[in-house]
Structures are given as C-alpha cells and as structure tokens.
Amino acid sequence: MRRLMVSFLAAGSVVLLSACGQGGSAFNAGNNTKVDHVQLETSGQPPGVFKVVPGGFITVSAIGLRGSQNVPETGDINYTFDASISPGGQLFDNTISGQQTACGAFTGSTGTPVVPAANLVVSATSPNTVVLVAPTIAAANALFSVPAPAAPASYCILLNAHHVIDGVTGSTVIDVSNNA
C-alpha cells in the first residue's frame, strides 16, 4: 500500500511540474489583461484628496487595475474624460480618517451642467492624465439653467475616466473651494 501511495505522489508531481514548464503554474487561473476598474489619482497635497481653488487647476491620472490583486496596467492610454458640476452630495475631506463633508449646493438649480470640454485638457505626453481647470464660482453659476441658482462659496465637480476598450469607469468628486 505504501509503495502504491509513493507511485501516486510521484506521478502527481510529474504532472504538476510539467504544467509549470511553460512559465505558468498548474494553478494559474489564466492571463487576465482586461481592466476591471479604474482608479483616479492626484499628486495634490495631501495625496489622494481632490481639492482645487475656483479658477485653479488639478492634474488627475487614470490607472487601470485588473484582477483581485489590483495589478496596475502600466502604459495604458485608452481613456476619455468628462466632468459635471455636482448639485450636492458628499466628498472625502482627507484620506486618513475617511471623513466626509457636504459639497456646496447651487440652490434652485436644475440639472447637472457639464464642465466645458475646454476645461479638460488631456496631456499630450500621458493620455491617461487630464488637467481640469475648475470654473470660477461665477462661471459655474452661469452653467446652470433657469431659475438662476444662488452661488455657493464652494462646489463639487464629478470627474469620470472611461476606459474605452474595457468599458469601465472610475469617478471621483473634486472639492472646488477657497479652502483647497
């Protein structure tokens, strides 16, 4: 019986080792190159907190992640960007505590105006990066339709990065205020 068990173990080892001969693994689940989700990053201070002063700019990069280990897809340039002014909602105040604060609201506003494409400049050298020029409070106020809303002291922009090949989108809320 012991000799039979040793034979089974030896045969199993040969099967497992031969599966590894091509640089893979007998337990490999496949070669996933599809982007599963998109993460947005900024190099602002503090990192990961998306804040900008009205009329200022913020640089945001889209990073495609794949698999359960969130492996970054380096050199991936297949993104389009769009942004809209958020009529309200919450944003993360810092990355340490996860504290959230309310976005400034345009009272009496209707709809969610789109930030003009001229305010989203995609980097020529790094197409997965966009520079967002935040409209001033007056310009953001003018983007809303009738009835004219009262301008808040701050507002939020919802920025989306769409991976055009794999059809996934990453989003973040950007605080536009003088406290940025």
| 77 shares its domain with 143 | yes
**pLDDT at residue number 146:** 39
Q: Give the range of the structural domain holding residue 9, as residue numbers without chain letter.
A: 1-31
Q: In whole angstroms, what is the distance from residue 48 CA to residue 5 CA?
A: 56
| 27 shares its domain with 51 | no
| 16 shares its domain with 38 | no
Cβ neighbours of residue 51 under 8 Å, at least 6 residues apart?
44, 58, 174, 175, 176, 177, 179, 180
| 104 shares its domain with 124 | yes
**pLDDT at residue number 41:** 87
pLDDT in tens, the chain (180 residues): 555 554 545 555 544 444 444 443 444 444 567 899 898 888 755 556 788 888 889 989 998 998 888 888 877 888 999 988 876 677 766 656 667 777 776 665 556 678 888 888 888 888 888 888 888 777 776 776 534 455 666 788 888 999 999 999 998 888 888 776
| 22 shares its domain with 38 | no
Global pTM? 0.70
**pLDDT at residue number 53:** 87
Q: In whole angstroms, what is the distance from residue 51 CA to residue 59 CA?
A: 10
**pLDDT at residue number 162:** 93
Q: In whole angstroms, what is the distance from residue 12 CA to residue 31 CA?
A: 24
| 27 shares its domain with 50 | no
| 64 shares its domain with 149 | yes
**pLDDT at residue number 147:** 46
| 12 shares its domain with 43 | no
Q: Which of 179, 85, 178 is nearest to 132 (CA)?
A: 85
| 27 shares its domain with 38 | no
Tell me how many domains the chain contains: 2
